[in-house]
Amino acid sequence: MKFVLTIGNTETAKIDGISAAGANPDLMVHTPSADAEILTYGEPVETPVVPVSPTGCPTPAVISRAVRECLEFETVVVDAGAASQTSAPSVEMPGPAGNDVREEVAVPEAEAKFESARAYGQALPDDEIVVAETIPGGTTTALGVLTALGERTDVSSSLPENPLELKRDVVSEALDASGLEPGDAAGDPLEAVAAAGDPVLTTVAGLTVGALESGTEVTLGGGTQMSAAAALVRHYGVTESFSQFTTSFIAADESSDVQELAADLDLDLTATDPEFAETDHPAMDAYVRGEAKEGVGMGGALGLAAESDVEMAAVRERVVAVYDRLLADVPEEHPAAEHAGTAAE
Amino acid sequence: MKFVLTIGNTETAKIDGISAAGANPDLMVHTPSADAEILTYGEPVETPVVPVSPTGCPTPAVISRAVRECLEFETVVVDAGAASQTSAPSVEMPGPAGNDVREEVAVPEAEAKFESARAYGQALPDDEIVVAETIPGGTTTALGVLTALGERTDVSSSLPENPLELKRDVVSEALDASGLEPGDAAGDPLEAVAAAGDPVLTTVAGLTVGALESGTEVTLGGGTQMSAAAALVRHYGVTESFSQFTTSFIAADESSDVQELAADLDLDLTATDPEFAETDHPAMDAYVRGEAKEGVGMGGALGLAAESDVEMAAVRERVVAVYDRLLADVPEEHPAAEHAGTAAE
């Protein structure tokens, strides 16, 4: 089993109010690179930032890394188009980061990324992969893809109050810019992703198609972004079964259609509850309050933990350890610093 | 502990008779990428070649991978300048592959590679790293660097008969092209490596300097190429102690000065004997005959095995398993194919 984290950026994340995957838009560009380093090394290595939301919720990479430390699974980072270089070892897809979806082309070289990811997915010797993502603004591009394909469009959010109206407005502009009506790209996933998606969605879809073609079991670890990736795979014509692991926080989010989408797309959906309310700690409290919910394969990692003989209490203990390690060296001016004290108490 | 494999190419390898790190010069360019995939995945994934010497000796990546499967240590690939893209996740150093050392500049952007590797070495959170290399033609560039620095110059070879005279002629031309006499670059390692080295040497030196600066223990896993990297580190002015792990095949090579160089450079040298003569198998026979000897951190991996509670017999069993897996799918026209049958018998 290999845990494949796909990282990338889209300029869409810079639209005010779209994403909480970073303390502010300047730091947000580094979130995927930092997440990759946290998953790989247990802390950011050369990316000078610990991703936190504007309210201080630490990146879900903390949770995925904690599970990795408990289960010792192998990870690979696939760079679908990150705007900031990562020091995590990564497999490079061709082409740049994604544009603002309101431009005519949201994903330059979408087909090259898809085919490169597909070849890599075919070539991986593993029996099973879990595919994860980190891309700020990714639920908006997921909405874009689902809309272009004519699928259900209620996506989740890393923010406690889902700005769905804003996302719909952005997606409407995105489709206009590409001359598409909702549903026009049905059966043409590369058109949908190029017009209104992001580099991570096309890469996750390519990885999934390639892996399934070579007989590898695939689990998409994530929320409605993974629903959109799965929709791309189905619209490509793939009928093989594959699965989705997400968190109980996504499953409980009434603003999102993750369960209905899984049913529509014939995905076997599992939502895992890490019982964060059992532990009073700033690494976990924000999730209980409804923030973040998913990302960096958190639901995938928790699903693997639930399948293993590791207790969820042990995972939570490890989450605290990873969080404290991450925030121990945060400089005082860092947005996470005010929470560092809480962690040490 | 992390096992860091540094990969790269130099045009120097294309000089007839210099290297056995590939069946022929066209295939040799893929050797570092394939080695990285074998170490990471257990087999080449997208690089379409299993590296073998012209006589059929399989790449030492087989040995390092086998030890990794026994000990389960973590690996990272650092791409110092590979000419062929690898599908192994890797950390990219700036700049291209190396030129033929007989050109004026052997390593474009040598300082950028060194400083980037140094920053990465400083940032790695590990207590200990073992640094390995794969670059065809690397013993010639090692000779170039040792000569430019004024150190001992008897380097080893992957060929059974070491073409030392040819290497000396090439290095003599290399220094001429850069306007240097032997020893002229003493105290200026970046001049030495830029004039007569390769991308891997400057990167290994940078990694070592950076790691030592941040208090990480460093072991160089390799033969006289690692002697040359260590010389670069010492000529940079670093006095901290570090170690070298190599194979008994290098230690037994009377044409090489690995032991004298270790003494000169104040390196703690350990040579590990995998007792390949105990097992009659084509994956190991060539080493017993004096071919290959080292590479892809073979000596480093074997040293880790010797320090662990894993028996060397178990390592040899795993070598057979890795070799058989590698050669199971080799197409008939591949230079390794004639040996595939032997392995299956």
The residue of chain B nearest to residue A6, with distances taken between CA atoms, is: B89
pLDDT digits (tens, 9 = 90+) for B43-60: 999 998 889 988 888 999
Sign of CA dihedral A64, A66, A72, A76: positive
Are A41 and B91 a contacting pair at CB < 8 A?
Answer: no
Predicted pLDDT at A163:
92
Predicted pLDDT at A177:
97
Mutate: best of B41, B86, B129, B207, partner A, most A CBs <10 A = B41
Percent of chain A exceeding pLDDT 90 equals 84
* Residue A63: CATH number of its domain: 3.40.50.10210
A187-216: average pLDDT: 98
First to last CA, chain A: 37
d(CA B159, CA A297) in angstroms, rounded, equals 47
Are A123 and B92 a contacting pair at CB < 8 A?
Answer: no
**Confidence at A343, pLDDT banded by 50, 70, 90:** very low
Task: Return the SS3 of A255.
Answer: coil
A41-45: average pLDDT: 95
- Considering only CB atoms, A46 lies closest to which of B76, B87, B123, namely B123
Predicted pLDDT at B252:
94
Name the stretches of chain B with pLDDT < 70: 329-345
pLDDT above 90 for A210: yes
Are A120 and B77 a contacting pair at CB < 8 A?
Answer: no
For residue B110, report the phi and psi dihedrals to the nearest 5 degrees.
Answer: -60, -40
A49 conformational bin, left if phi > 0, alpha if psi -120 to 50, beta if neither: beta
pLDDT above 50 for A339: no
Predicted pLDDT at A159:
84
The residue of chain A nearest to residue B72, with distances taken between CA atoms, is: A72
- Considering only CB atoms, A76 lies closest to which of B72, B89, B92, namely B89
Contact residues for B345 (Cβ-Cβ < 8 A; gap 6+): none
Rounded to the nearest angstrom, the minimum Cα separation between B107 and chain A is 22
Predicted pLDDT at B69:
98
Residues of chain B with C-beta less than 8 angstroms from the C-beta of A125: 41-43, 45
pLDDT above 90 for A61: yes
SS3 string, A260-311, reads HHHHHCCEEEEEECCCHHHCCCHHHHHHHCCCCCCCCCHHHHHHHHHHCCCC
pLDDT above 60 for A336: no
Is the pLDDT higher at A290 or at A65? A65
**Confidence at A344, pLDDT banded by 50, 70, 90:** very low
Those residues of chain A whose CB sits closer than 8 Å to some CB in chain B are 41-43, 45-46, 72, 76-78, 85, 87-92, 119-120, 123-125
pLDDT digits (tens, 9 = 90+) for A279-312: 999 999 999 999 999 999 999 999 999 999 999 9
Rounded to the nearest angstrom, the minimum Cα separation between B154 and chain A is 35
Residue A338 is part of which domain span?
2-344
Tokens of A286: 């924000």
Please choose, from the candidates A218, A241, A216, the residue with its C-alpha nearest in 3D space to the C-alpha of residue A297. A218
Predicted pLDDT at A327:
83
The 8-class DSSP code of residue A97 comes to P
Predicted pLDDT at A49:
87
Q: What is the ipTM of this complex?
A: 0.91
A35-63: average pLDDT: 93
Are B125 and A90 a contacting pair at CB < 8 A?
Answer: no
- Considering only CB atoms, B43 lies closest to which of A42, A90, A125, namely A125
Q: Say how many domains are in chain A.
A: 1
pLDDT above 70 for A331: no
Predicted pLDDT at B340:
39
Residues of chain B with C-beta less than 8 angstroms from the C-beta of A78: 89
Tell me how long chain B is. Answer: 345
Are B125 and A43 a contacting pair at CB < 8 A?
Answer: yes
Predicted pLDDT at B334:
59
pLDDT above 60 for A338: no
Mutate: best of A37, A40, A41, partner B, most B CBs <10 A = A41
Residues of chain A with C-beta less than 8 angstroms from the C-beta of B46: 119-120, 123
